[in-house]
Structure 1
């Protein structure tokens, strides 16, 4: 088994706001990441410092950490405001800042720094440098294979975090300018318009179209829940769920599912432990296929392969229900009615010639399904359920609590009583009263009453599972013991909240050398502090960041391990039928595809403003 930077394994969940943070904690997260008011990669998921502070207070009860995202690029005139926000978040108690711009490394912030996936962390050399530069954790690019992840973990002393569930950025993170090429909205500034989910034509650039109106860059969503053990053994210590814009149902369902998966992996590795405490027992059976998903994929975990794209739709397809056997005037029947049962109010979709078509179920009459509309429904059509109404109701109505196991000890003597609580981490607190106590008339009944009162934890975060009694011959009124119990549990919570979390606040090693002496425009240095950082670490030539340029014309606007040629069976290494140049076109936007078969990478070059295009063949 490979090294792990600490003996603790973390499940890291997203939160768009305070309510989502509470849900993530309640359903089993060990850490939560959320955005501040500005400078986060999801502009729509910003929070005030006060909201962040509330989330910190709630999470720290369970030893859960809060990571704040300041992971966009910064302009020179924003440096002061970015630093003020960073220091406000630190004062609010966040445990780490997730950053993209090296300017934040230069601000001497008293906080643990995590290198965002927006830094395009995908090589052992690059990740080793970030550890030397003072980053306690590095968040990996999503295009990596297990072997690549293992090599990175071997190369660094930093903790390694990787995404295991949710949407995948098809381009290398932090190196994608596709949104910027189509509008003023930049993904590197938290405003990606998600053009990778749009339709494109695949052409030869001279008038011939090979594929028309397909979602050629839209890839399926990630699900690595079956591979957490392999990732732990490779050296990964934090498993990240994507979704800072997702709703509470998604958070509850997916976090609960991965809590079980992580616990299963840890059960086989007793030398390791989870990074927080508390037990969550959801009152529903979690199933990620019932939350938003574009179809599950392991992407390139086992190696680069075809079958990872979703050409037909970028929307949630959901779980396969079956195939249409017969179509009636306003209803249809499935081939296997004994399979998964639909219910009134479910959302369903069908693959049609125009792509996926969706509708709702109005009624279910045995094997006969009555939809709201019949468009796209024909014999043989595949049926998918993308909204399970009954399951969603169960999740929405869930009353799951997260509890910390504790024990109680009740001691009585002639002139006093004390109750002492100890939780699973060894925190302890007591409450006592000095007063004359009478001898109990019925010691057995008295003991049963003491045990019952001490075990009640009410709506606190504790669950008292064992009660030790010392001296049951003295009678203690139930009201007195209840008062002491509440006081003792309040003090136990205060003891937990008073503890200091361990943070790896690391210095920047001035001798660390960046792996390259040149930074291209695509590597996006956009302010004076970041430029000084790289020059101090050996970079000789730094091009002006592409996000500062008025246009992306002529530049690569996406580089990716995903390959359209491989996806359609036209890999250049395998005697393809399609020779010559390939282009992606959408309206006035044109992108020339470049293929690097040595690195097995594809790039999109913005050719929308080229002046000397060849005329289309007639």
Structure 2
């Protein structure tokens, strides 16, 4: 029989508390930054904290991956290698890396996961990583289902894909906009997010196409309805972005995707979850109720939707209805949603700017805001802060348990309680004691079932109790409770003992021809990464802009998002001849004193942003 394909829901953890919350809400794996070298430097964690998270996660067969995915400078190589060893001893299950210096280091035998910063956007790139010893690659967000399927047919490397969260407008690992503007490198985990600023776009003749809009700001990714297609395309790890997001966000989005994966597996033979346990929520997961700038599937099905959020980089949240009428101190809303005090409501003004207010009180459909905004009948309203939902997320009302069967037997010297969980871990607890016949046999038999069925305060859910005694026995309730507690502690210890971290024997068969054309995209920032290329007889000169600087006309951003398409003047997809003739290329992008050239490579269907000449 063909083995089941394990699917993994991979959730972000800015800290241990968020990681544990994600696990309780259904994550099969979490990724977390260490004390240094994480692409989210604001989400750093000490080794001791990561060790605590690993111990908790492994009880559920949940994996923990360490994000050590910045480029490394020469003076940091020793520290970086030492950190990888510290993370290994803390219990992590794999390294998410960008810098190829790792291939020249003596590191523990854990899986290497190629960060999306490695520019994993082509079959050739994935083959290169596979032959170099990587176990998995995090795919470029820009890839379509057809492209992912082709990669799967051409390689055997594990495929991980983003399914939800904030989007970088540039191909990951190739954005230098933050670096050139203020010296903060995205490849060093310090991105200042200049893509969320306002820009003005003009054509080559100076004609203004758009003024003071967030032209590079994207909507958020939401692929909740594409779990089946992604699975069938070969993706086995579904990644949620958000190591800077709060715990409530992670709980909600993890719950949404965990439920979606469960529904898919329930109706699709051949797939299973990669971890153990059942999650229960005190809320109904809903992707519209936490931070979002509007949603996009982002080229998964091709170029067929607008992907920018030009009017605001802030969260708009959930559409809840329209203004019906406006009065001096309140307005009436047309909605099917329940609005409560302290909800946050926002709307777009007539000139396209986002405005908002808090709800002071509600009387039926009449909303009394904290200040009376300039609303008009028909204005679309969004709730970007759901007070009731947020309060639920802030409580500790989620749990995750593993089903277990208990079997109660008698022995010559007393009683034996056996425990077996769904992963076939088995233990027993032996109690040596004298046996006493009960005065009320039926009550004694029922007491065994009742007391052993309780499992509160543990990671287990007792789903079945068998009493195999030949006759009823009187056993004090305290003794039964003690036996149950002891056997479940033994079972938890057995799960931890039996957990097996992935061990990888890296047999590299690196093909120099595959890497020959990729040195320009390697972000070589240290001598060890250079040595890797030189070992293939390929020049390994330092070429990271963080060290070499910028030249006039250098590309600082390559993006699949196309401003011509966003403004309906794309000559390929929209065939707008009037628009094409009206605006002369190249375009020019400006913010304050910053000036960039915008070029369009229609053969590759990408947009290039370059430094001025």
TM-score bracket relative to the smaller structure: over 0.9
Instruction: Using the TM superposition, give the Cα deviation of residue 399 of structure 1 relative to its aligned residue in structure 2, in angstroms.
Output: 1.3
Secondary structure of the structure 2 residue equivalent to 1:363: strand
- In structure 1, the gaps of 5 or more residues are 611-618
Instruction: Using the TM superposition, give the Cα deviation of residue 176 of structure 1 relative to its aligned residue in structure 2, in angstroms.
Output: 0.7
CA contact (8 A) 1:281 1:401 kept: yes
- 1:347 is matched with 344
- 1:453 is matched with 451
Residues 407-426 of structure 1 deviation map (CA, whole Å, 9 limit, x = unaligned): 00011245311111100100
Q: Distance in 1 between matches of 2:584 and 2:592?
A: 24
Q: Distance in 1 between matches of 2:33 and 2:299?
A: 28
- CA RMSD, aligned part only? 1.7
Q: TM-score, normalised by structure 2?
A: 0.95
CA contact (8 A) 2:58 2:499 kept: no
Secondary structure of the structure 1 residue equivalent to 2:512: coil
CA contact (8 A) 2:5 2:270 kept: yes
- Corresponding position: 1:9 with 2:14: no
Q: TM-score, normalised by structure 1?
A: 0.94
Shift in CA distance, 473/519, structure 1 to aligned 2, threshold 3 Å: closer
- 1:614 is matched with none
Q: Distance in 2 between matches of 1:413 and 1:452?
A: 21
- Corresponding position: 1:75 with 2:73: yes
Instruction: Using the TM superposition, give the Cα deviation of residue 304 of structure 1 relative to its aligned residue in structure 2, in angstroms.
Output: 1.5
CA contact (8 A) 2:526 2:542 kept: no
Secondary structure of the structure 2 residue equivalent to 1:375: coil
Instruction: Using the TM superposition, give the Cα deviation of residue 561 of structure 1 relative to its aligned residue in structure 2, in angstroms.
Output: 1.2
2:605 to 581, 591, 600: 600
- 2:214 is matched with 215
- Any residues of structure 2 matched to 1:99-178 within 5 Å, and which? 99-110=97-108, 111-178=110-177
CA contact (8 A) 2:445 2:473 kept: no
Q: Distance in 2 between matches of 1:502 and 1:91?
A: 12
- 1:28 is matched with 26
- 2:596 is matched with 591
Instruction: Using the TM superposition, give the Cα deviation of residue 504 of structure 1 relative to its aligned residue in structure 2, in angstroms.
Output: 4.6
Q: Distance in 1 between matches of 2:146 and 2:537?
A: 29
CA contact (8 A) 2:532 2:540 kept: no
CA contact (8 A) 1:5 1:159 kept: no
Q: Distance in 2 between matches of 1:315 and 1:208?
A: 28
CA contact (8 A) 1:12 1:29 kept: yes
Shift in CA distance, 485/514, structure 1 to aligned 2, threshold 3 Å: farther
CA contact (8 A) 2:413 2:434 kept: yes
Number of residue equivalences: 603
Residues 360-379 of structure 1 deviation map (CA, whole Å, 9 limit, x = unaligned): 11111222211122334223
- 2:53 is matched with 55
Q: Distance in 1 between matches of 2:154 and 2:374?
A: 53
- 1:505 is matched with 504
- In structure 2, the gaps of 5 or more residues are none
- Corresponding position: 1:567 with 2:566: yes
Instruction: Using the TM superposition, give the Cα deviation of residue 470 of structure 1 relative to its aligned residue in structure 2, in angstroms.
Output: 1.2
Shift in CA distance, 474/322, structure 1 to aligned 2, threshold 3 Å: closer
Instruction: Using the TM superposition, give the Cα deviation of residue 181 of structure 1 relative to its aligned residue in structure 2, in angstroms.
Output: 1.4
More moved, 510-519 vs 287-296: 510-519
- Any residues of structure 2 matched to 1:280-291 within 5 Å, and which? 280-291=279-290
Instruction: Using the TM superposition, give the Cα deviation of residue 387 of structure 1 relative to its aligned residue in structure 2, in angstroms.
Output: 0.6
Q: Distance in 1 between matches of 2:396 and 2:537?
A: 55
- 2:226 is matched with 227
- 1:473 is matched with 472
- Any residues of structure 2 matched to 1:314-393 within 5 Å, and which? 314-334=313-333, 336-337=334-335, 339-352=336-349, 353=351, 355-393=353-391
Instruction: Using the TM superposition, give the Cα deviation of residue 595 of structure 1 relative to its aligned residue in structure 2, in angstroms.
Output: 0.8
Shift in CA distance, 559/218, structure 1 to aligned 2, threshold 3 Å: same
Shift in CA distance, 183/564, structure 1 to aligned 2, threshold 3 Å: same
CA contact (8 A) 2:204 2:584 kept: no
2:584 to 579, 582, 594: 579
- 2:44 is matched with 46
Secondary structure of the structure 1 residue equivalent to 2:498: coil
